[in-house]
Amino acid sequence: MNISTLEKLVVDALEDIKAKDIEVINTTRLTAMFDRIVIASGDSNRQTKALARNVQNKVLEAGGHVVSMEGQDTGEWVLVDLGDIVVHVMQPAVRAYYNLEEIWSHTPVRHRPHEADARHETF
């Protein structure tokens, strides 16, 4: 399954159970471990568990692969690892505390060579 199809499937599965504040972060330039992070909030332990379970079920039904699922015991933060996409379903307080959006949204800074240095480069 290509990344766009998997991403749409994940977002649709989260929307089915009324996830809040769904955010998709493209991480292809930040890490080789996965291509996207999807972060969503649920209002209760019960809802976060249901959201994660629905993502897992929809991916499996579509013939995708679920590497692992963690955190379903407490439901405060449930992680669904789909290989190319890692889904974080969190309660709002936990999401605010860890602020994954800020951590993963930063893109690496590319330093431009100093003009004087660039003039002396040979190609």
Give residue-wise pLDDT tens across range 42-77: 999 999 999 999 999 999 999 999 999 999 999 999
pLDDT on residue 56? 98
Classify residue 112 by its DSSP letter.
P
Cα→Cα distances 34→21, 51, 83, 108, Å: 21, 21, 6, 16
Q: Does the pLDDT of residue 114 top 60, yes or no?
A: no
Q: Does the pLDDT of residue 115 top 50, yes or no?
A: no
pTM above 0.75, yes or no: yes
Cα→Cα distances 39→12, 55, 104, 106, Å: 13, 12, 11, 15
pLDDT mean over 14-43:
90
Which domains are assigned to the chain?
A: 3-105 (3.30.460.10)
pLDDT on residue 104? 72
Instruction: Give per-residue pLDDT as tens, 69-110.
Output: 999 999 999 999 999 999 999 999 999 998 887 777 764 433
The sign of the dihedral angle between the CA atoms of 46, 62, 66, 19 is negative
Contact 25, 44 (CB under 8 A): no
The amino acid that residue 49 corresponds to is K
pLDDT on residue 96? 92
